[in-house]
C-alpha cells in the first residue's frame, strides 16, 4: 500500500514538473504580447561609448504610431515572426537593464495600464510587460535592425542627440 501511494505521489510530482516546464517553455508570439489596437510609441536608441567611458546616445528616434497605419502594421508583422518563453527571471521579478549598442522600446498606455516591450541588441532577453522573458532567437540584433528600419522609413520622426 505504501509503495503504491509513493508511486502515485512521484507520478503526480513528475507530471507537475513537466506541466510547469511546458508552461515556462511554451512559445508565445511577440506580436501577441503587445496591444496594437491603440497608439504606441516606438523608440530606437543607439549608444556609443566615448573615450572617457561615458555613453552618448547617437540617434534616439521616437515616433507615435497609430493603429492600422502601414508602419504600425509593419511592426506587428515583424514581431509575428518572433516568439519568446518565460524564464527564471520572469518569476523572480528581475528587470531588464536597457544598455546595449541598440535598444528598441514599444510603449503604450490604455485605461491606466502600461504596455511595454523592450529589446536590446546582442541579447535574447527582453522586457515584456513587467517581466523579463527570453526570446526564441540567438539575440535581438536583427529584430532591432528591422524595427529601426521601419521607424526610420516613417515620416514625421523626432530625433535628437543626448549625452548620458
The model's pLDDT over 39-84, given as tens digits with 9 standing for 90+, comes to 999 988 888 777 787 777 776 788 899 999 999 999 999 999 899 9
Could you tell me if residue 21 is inside a domain?
no
pLDDT attached to residue 79: 93
The range of the structural domain enclosing residue 97 comes to 28-163
Identify the weakest region by mean pLDDT among 32-36, 72-76, 87-91, 158-162. 158-162
Q: Is 99 helix (H, G, I), strand (E, B) or coil?
A: coil
State the Cα–Cα distance between residues 142 and 121, nearest whole angstrom. 8
pLDDT attached to residue 78: 93
Mean pLDDT, rounded, of the chain: 83
Could you tell me if residue 70 is inside a domain?
yes
Task: Tell me which H or E stretch contains 48.
Answer: strand 40-49
| Interval 123-156: pLDDT, tens | 888 888 878 888 888 888 889 889 989 988 865 5
CB distance 146 to 115 below 8 Å: no
| Interval 4-44: pLDDT, tens | 899 999 999 999 999 999 999 999 998 888 888 889 999 88
Share of the chain above pLDDT 70, in %: 87
Mean pLDDT of 85-106: 79
CB distance 143 to 84 below 8 Å: no
Number of domains in the chain: 1
Could you tell me if residue 130 is inside a domain?
yes
159 — pLDDT class (breaks 50, 70, 90): very low
For the question of whether the overall pTM of this predicted structure is more than 0.85, the answer is no
Amino acid at each position: 500500500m505504501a509503495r503504491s501511494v509513493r508511486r502515485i505521489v512521484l507520478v503526480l510530482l513528475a507530471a507537475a514538473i513537466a506541466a510547469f516546464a511546458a508552461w515556462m517553455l511554451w512559445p508565445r508570439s511577440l506580436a501577441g504580447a503587445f496591444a496594437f489596437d491603440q497608439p504606441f510609441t516606438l523608440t530606437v536608441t543607439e549608444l556609443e561609448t566615448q573615450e572617457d567611458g561615458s555613453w552618448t546616445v547617437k540617434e534616439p528616434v521616437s515616433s507615435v504610431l497609430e493603429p492600422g497605419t502601414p508602419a504600425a502594421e509593419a511592426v506587428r508583422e515583424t514581431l509575428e515572426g518572433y516568439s519568446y518563453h518565460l524564464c527564471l527571471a520572469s518569476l523572480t521579478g528581475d528587470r531588464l537593464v536597457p544598455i546595449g549598442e541598440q535598444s528598441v522600446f514599444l510603449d503604450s498606455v490604455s485605461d491606466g495600464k502600461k504596455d511595454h516591450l523592450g529589446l536590446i541588441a546582442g541579447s535574447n532577453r527582453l522586457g515584456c510587460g513587467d517581466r523579463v522573458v527570453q526570446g526564441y532567437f540567438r539575440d535581438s540584433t536583427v529584430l532591432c535592425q528591422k524595427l529601426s528600419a521601419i521607424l526610420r522609413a516613417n515620416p514625421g520622426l523626432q530625433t535628437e542627440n543626448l549625452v548620458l
